[in-house]
Amino acid sequence: MTRHTAHRSGGAGYRAGLPVSRREPDALNYRWILFDADDTLFHFDAYQGLRRMFERHAVDFTQAHYAQYQEINKPLWVHYQNGAITAAELQTTRFEGWAQQLGVSAAELNEAFLLAMAEICTLLPGAQALIDALAAAQVRMGVITNGFTALQLARLERTGLRGHFDPLVISEQVGVAKPDVRIFEHALAGMGDPPRDQVLMVGDNPHSDIVGGLAAGLHTCWFNPNGHEVPDGIAPHHQVRSLPELQALLLG
């Protein structure tokens, strides 16, 4: 894929999907790489996780059930990212209907779902090689995720990546979620407040990872494996369609 780069300008004068020429960074130009977790480093297949969880309750969880679940879950995530509800409220509210049907608590279903998601966790192609190469090059790495503490810790331990990331910033612990600039500032404080142009935020969600990273003054890279158009008004510094492409961008 041709790399798309853009000057950060708050979106002014930038047309979605059109590259703006500027010099590519030298190898190892960034001293820090901050990663999103779900769908950036890890596969995140909520449908399969829910099927696995509901099998333990003798429920054949179908695509129709999943569509109904997402009708509840997606708006809750918007409310959570906007600070209107807590992580605990999100996690239990989405399972209240099923809890009543099955005669169990919503908290119990949520815990079982997180366990199932940890059990099916796999890395995206190229993730292990990228992390190993960055570590060998002495590039510092951290994670900023809107995920939940128990699940993210379990996935990092399961994949052997936990020791590579410091800081590990999880919205449930911090109390605010991306794109709120405060979660990025929390991470930067834990990093010793490095110069912002030496920090690259990498993530698959332009509205949380890229908008939030830009608001914090960071350089940003949109991980865009499906080749979507850049949303209007959002100007990531870089785009890549695979993690091997990101490795080539960072390390040459």
Tell me how crowded residue 201 is: count the other CB atoms within 10 A of its CB: 28
Query: pLDDT tens-digit profile of 38-47?
Result: 999 999 999 9
Kindly state whether residues 82 and 146 are assigned to the same domain.
no
Instruction: Identify the domain containing residue 110 by its residue range.
Output: 46-119
Residue 1: inside a domain: no
Tell me how crowded residue 12 is: count the other CB atoms within 10 A of its CB: 8
At residue 21, the pLDDT reads 28
* Residues in a beta bridge with 213: none
Q: For the whole model, what pTM was predicted? A: 0.84
* Structural domains counted in the chain: 2
Structure tokens at 163: 């020791």
Residue 5: inside a domain: no
Tell me phi and psi for residue 210, to 5 degrees.
-80, -50
The active-site residue out of 26, 36, 132, 180 is: 36
Structure tokens at 94: 């989405």
Query: pLDDT tens-digit profile of 113-147?
Result: 999 999 999 999 999 999 999 999 999 999 999 98
Select from 67, 100, 119 the last residue of a domain: 119
Contact 245/1 with Cβ under 8 angstroms?
A: yes
Residue entry with tokens 């979106």: 11
Kindly state whether residues 138 and 235 are assigned to the same domain.
yes
Inform me whether the pLDDT recorded for 14 exceeds 80.
no
Kindly state whether residues 140 and 111 are assigned to the same domain.
no
Tell me phi and psi for residue 240, to 5 degrees.
-140, 155
At residue 27, the pLDDT reads 52
In total, the chain counts a number of residues equal to 252
Distance CA 176, CA 109 (A): 24
Select from 69, 98, 119 the last residue of a domain: 119
Query: pLDDT tens-digit profile of 147-205?
Result: 899 999 999 999 999 999 999 999 999 999 999 999 999 999 999 999 999 999 999 99
Residue of 106, 100, 103, 49 whose CA lies nearest to 76: 106
Kindly state whether residues 90 and 37 are assigned to the same domain.
no
- Helix (H) / strand (E) containing 64: helix 63-81
Active site residue 60: no
Q: In Å, how far from its chain's centre is CA 38?
A: 4
